[in-house]
Amino acid sequence: MEPDTSQQPKEIRQLQQEPPKQKTKERETFQTVVIGTNGTGKTTIIKKIVIAALKAGQRVLVVTPDFAEWLTLPEIHERYRSRIEWYKGGRRMIYQEGDLKLINDHFRNGLIVFDDCRSYLDARTSKEIHNLVIRRRQFMVDLIFVAHGFTEIPPKFFTFASQFIIFKTRDSIDIRKKELGSDFENIKQVVNTVNAEAVKDKHFYKIVKR
Ligand SMILES: Nc1ncnc2c1ncn2[C@@H]1O[C@H](COP(=O)(O)OP(=O)(O)OP(=O)(O)O)[C@@H](O)[C@H]1O
Ligand SMILES: [Mg+2]
């Protein structure tokens, strides 16, 4: 028997009867995790993604620990870091203590790359990282996290990743079994294939979408 809904407010009845309207203006966001040992080509591939995003008119913020990388992007000024709120185009940010909070509070609508993040993020999931990965759709941010292996970086990266770019790795993916859930076996197989291919070609990689 159908439940009697006639006593409910009109809005609620409509919600129950109509399929939700497609929000055509809302774009999909992504969270990519790039994993690979030293010199495999992680930064090289991300540069291509960044160039494409800039060409498409997106805002891009590249967080890096390294003064010598990403020199083509103008730097966020030491004294005016909250300008990440409104600049157009791309910027690089040489990581400083407190920047995660700044990004979480001020950066919306664009692509954020956390290059080589093991040197400034620790293995726990901080509240800022947690917030960014769970709210990326509301914030309209795409996220790319770059790391050398499956350990030493926050577990939540794996829970919410929409895709992985996997280069050669040395540590075991097994510690992320819980976070990867039903995708674990598939991704583990890709990791094994990449590691086998990397014997011949150290820049070999595979992309896994979820
Ligand atoms: N597909 C490729 N074929 C040939 N050379 C490549 C390829 N990808 C990257 N390289 C070269 O390998 C070197 C290391 O690349 P890159 O800096 O992108 O590696 P990385 O994984 O970011 O290293 P790190 O872990 O030190 O950050 C660079 O000199 C780059 O030009
Ligand atoms: Mg690099």
Query: Is it true that domain 27-209 has CATH number 3.40.50.300?
Result: yes
43 lines ligand 1 (CB under 6 A): yes
116 lines ligand 1 (CB under 6 A): yes
Pocket test residue of 43, 50, 72, 170 for ligand 1, highest count of atoms within 8 A of CB? 43
3-class DSSP string for the chain: CCCCCCCCCHHHHHHHHCCCCCCCCCCCCCEEEEECCCCCCHHHHHHHHHHHHHHCCCCEEEEECCCCCCCCCCECCCCCHHHHHCCCCEEEEECCCCHHHHHHHHCCCEEEEECCHHHCCCCCCCHHHHHHHHCHHHHCEEEEEEECCCCCCCCHHHHHCCEEEECCCCCCHHHHHHHHHHHHHHHHHHHHHHHHHCCCCCCCCEEEEC
Reading the chain (210 residues) residue by residue, the pLDDT tens digits are 555 655 666 666 655 565 555 555 567 899 999 999 999 999 999 999 999 999 999 999 999 999 999 999 999 988 888 889 989 999 999 999 899 999 999 999 999 999 999 889 888 888 999 999 999 999 999 999 999 999 988 999 999 999 999 999 999 999 999 999 999 999 999 999 999 999 999 999 999 998
- Overall pTM surpassing 0.85 (yes/no): yes
169 lines ligand 1 (CB under 6 A): no
Ligand 1 centre from 38 Cα, in Å?
8
Domain positions in the chain: 27-209
Ligand 1 centre from 130 Cα, in Å?
29
